[in-house]
Amino acid sequence: MNLELENKTALVTGGSKGIGKGIAKALAAEGANVVICGRGMEELQEAEKEIKQSGGNVLAVQADLTKQPDVDHLVSAAVDRFKTIDILVNNAGVASGFDDFESLEIEDWEQLFNINVFGTVRVTKAVIPYMKKAESGRIINISSESGVQPDAFMPHYNASKAALINFTKSLSKAYAENGILVNTVSPAFIMTPMLDNMLKQTAEKEGITFDEATQSFLKENRPHIEVKRPGRVEEVASAVVYLASSQASFINGVNLRVDGGSVASQ
């Protein structure tokens, strides 16, 4: 299958680690020019090194997406290097732990939304003009199963991910006539370094093995993951690469769940 991504330029926010880095590596492997951003320079440089070692063409830009000047610099640096932006993957986001509603202050909501939602809005707003000029483009927003099937905890995170799904649908209606297709990918329980570390801490605290900690978390918090295992970063990346490709030319406004069956409805 020819995905026709060679020499396309993809901007992946939060591309220095975890799912974002996996997406950047997968796009680079298909021949795309990749621009990654993150707040930590050390992690950015390491991700850039990994992608270059595998033969990818990559530009790393340090940026805080809560700051408009950083967003402007990120997009201008990408365009200066690669002339345009064909693919935008809005992956940057944070979670703040298993907070309950009453323990959260309004400031907690504002800070999380400023990254998870408004960061996506800022970057998208800066990139759209280049895609309109080219009369083509792909925007893929990384949400979560929590945006469809929220937990009792982390209500601000759940709401932010639901907002991204709604934002995607709105943009898919607004820009399809410009040749810009906008979709969501919603992972669930993906084995990222953050999750790996959390499970290791749980295993050590409870005096159990890593596998036992993983299965316990699945049983208690993700009972509907029918494949009975965490997802892999590569499985999310594959879905994103497909939606970014020419093979997905009639897919617009969808929420593609990469969740092993975790969402317990259609």
The pLDDT tens digits for 24-48 are 999 999 999 999 999 999 999 999 9
pLDDT of residue 119: 98
pLDDT of residue 96: 76
pLDDT of residue 199: 87
Residue 125 in domain: yes
Which amino acid would we find at residue 102? E
- The region that residue 14 occupies, defined by phi over 0 for left and psi between -120 and 50 for alpha, beta otherwise, is left
Residues in the chain predicted with pLDDT less than 50, given as ranges, are none
Helices (H), the chain: 18-29, 41-53, 68-82, 106-116, 118-134, 155-175, 193-206, 210-221, 233-244
Q: How many domains does the chain have?
A: 2
Residue 3 in domain: no
Query: Does one domain contain both 209 and 114?
Result: no
Instruction: Give me the percent of the chain exceeding a pLDDT of 90.
Output: 88
Query: Does one domain contain both 142 and 196?
Result: no
Cα Rg of the chain, angstroms = 18
Residue 254 in domain: yes
Query: Does one domain contain both 167 and 55?
Result: yes
Contacts of residue 149, Cβ cutoff 8 Å, sequence gap at least 6? 262, 263, 264, 265
- Give residue 212's domain range: 191-230
pLDDT tens digits, 61-77: 999 999 999 999 999 99
Query: Does one domain contain both 100 and 148?
Result: yes
Out of 130, 157, 175, 242, which one is annotated catalytic? 157
Q: Is 157 a catalytic residue?
A: yes
Phi first, then psi, for residue 5 (nearest 5°) are -105, -5
Tokens of 161: 């991910």
* Sign of torsion over alpha carbons 212, 216, 217, 223: positive
C-alpha closest to that of 168 among 142, 137, 135:
142
Query: Does one domain contain both 167 and 178?
Result: yes
How far from chain centre, in Å, is Cα 28?
A: 16
Query: Does one domain contain both 144 and 218?
Result: no
Query: Does one domain contain both 115 and 45?
Result: yes
Query: Does one domain contain both 89 and 200?
Result: no
Residue 1 in domain: no
Query: Does one domain contain both 204 and 99?
Result: no
Residue 231 to residue 169: CA distance in whole angstroms: 25
Instruction: Give me the percent of the chain exceeding a pLDDT of 70.
Output: 100
Residue 59 in domain: yes
Biggest CA–CA distance in the chain, Å, is 58
Query: Does one domain contain both 130 and 223?
Result: no
Residue 121 in domain: yes
Query: Does one domain contain both 222 and 145?
Result: no
Residue 182 in domain: yes
Query: Does one domain contain both 147 and 35?
Result: yes
C-alpha closest to that of 233 among 187, 200, 202:
187
**Of how many residues is the chain composed?**
266
